[in-house]
Amino acid sequence: MSDKSKRKRAYWQIAAMIAALVLVSSFLFQLVLAEETSVKRKCEGTEIAMFREQLTLIPSSNVLERKNVEKKVEAWETMIAICETITPATVNPNETPQFIPWTPAPFETGIFEGQTGDIHSFDSKIENHWKGIVNGNNMIVFAGALANDPSQGIIIIHITSPITRKTVGNRYLSPTKSGALRIMEAKGNILVIHPSAGNQLYFHILAQQYVSTLTDNPPTINPFLITTSTPASLPYP
């Protein structure tokens, strides 16, 4: 083999070695880079995107509104920067969190106007409600009429156990369509109810039924054993 071809071969060998070295080191560099990128937390979510989108929608003439949203985008940029630097919290399952004690307000009893936010506006229009403690349970009796048929009176009962805090309830349409019901007074276990048009009604709170006189004493029921109707339909048809 001539010197020239030997030299040529040596060149090629050196070139191949350099290329291999570059190849390997670059690959390693890329892997390290990829590793670093994957370690960085993804904190930019839909929230900042929503505000950026708002900015594109607000006309430039509306300076005040634009400024307000720009402030929110800035706040989010700061929050994202903080989020990216924070290591995700590690959880110690044996550590008991420091809970904050809370004392609920006592259960008030009596007759009150309106409702308590429990009954949807499109369900029933509630005139008033009675609150009392019955057999140790907190009981609320709402009186009113169906929203889609104001001539149909309704009594809605919610009972909460102070021990388990479970709430159960039921609904009782008035026997006749004589308008919205209103609770006038409680006499023992019976509520005296006036429909907006029609004869006075009595509702026995222990038996959870309408009765004809104040002296009626139908068998009482355990509200927590009442099974309310469960929908027959399957959750996913």
Partner 1 sequence: MKSLMNLKLSHFIMGSFVIVLIIPRIINFPQMNELLDEDPYPSPSDKASFADEMNDLTITKKYLPIIPKGPPIFSKSWYVKTVDTQFWFGKGCEKGEEDRFITGKQDSVVILDFNFPTLTNGVYGAKLFSGGPASTSAIAAAVEFFGFGYYTCVQPDTTSTVVIAVGTNNCNQAICPGSISGDQYDDHGTSWAEMVNDIGTYFINHGQYPQVRAYGASDMEVGWNDAYTTKQWVDGYSSSNNWPMLNFGDAAGCPEFRTYTNAPCSNGWYQYTIWYISGRGGLNSSRPLPQIYDNGGRLARQWYSLSAYGYDMQNGRLDIQGALTQSEACSQVGCDPDLDNMPGHGYYQLQACLINDPVTLQFLKWSTDIGYSGY
Q: Which residues in the 164-223 window bind partner 1 by CB under 8 A?
A: 164-171
Per the listing, tokens 């040596």 go with 10
121/212 with CB nearer partner 1: 121
Per-residue contact track with partner 1, 62 to 101, x per CB under 8 A? ------x---x--xx--x--xx--xxxx-x-x---x-xx-
Question: Stretches 16-24, 176-184, 187-195, 212-220: which one binds partner 1 (CB under 8 A)?
Answer: 16-24
CB of 180 to partner 1, least distance (A): 13
- What letters, b where the CB count within 10 A reaches 16 and e where it falls short, cover 5-41? eeeeeeeeeeeeeeeeeeeeeeeeeeeeeeeeeeeee
For the beta sheet containing 209-211, the strands, ordered from the edge strand earlier in sequence to the opposite edge, are 181-187, 190-195, 201-204, 209-211
120/199 with CB nearer partner 1: 120
Among 121, 199, 212, 215, contact with partner 1 (rule: CB under 8 A): 121
110 lies in the site for partner 1, by CB under 8 A = no
68/109 with CB nearer partner 1: 68
Residues 26-55 close enough to bind partner 1 by CB under 8 A: 26-27, 30-31, 33-34, 42-43, 45-47, 50-51, 53-54
Task: Write the DSSP assignment of 129-198 as a string of letters.
Answer: EEEEEETTEEEEEEEEEETTEEEEEEEEEEEE-TTT--EEEEEEE-SS--S-EEEEEEETTEEEEEESSS
Among 126, 141, 191, 201, contact with partner 1 (rule: CB under 8 A): 126
CB of 126 to partner 1, least distance (A): 8
115/174 with CB nearer partner 1: 115
Q: Tokens standing for 132? A: 């009392």
Closest to 171 measured CA to CA, from 156, 149, 158: 156
81/214 with CB nearer partner 1: 81
Q: Where are the beta strands (DSSP E) in the chain?
A: 110-113, 124-134, 137-146, 149-160, 167-173, 181-187, 190-195, 201-204, 209-211
123/217 with CB nearer partner 1: 123
Residues 127-146 close enough to bind partner 1 by CB under 8 A: 138, 146
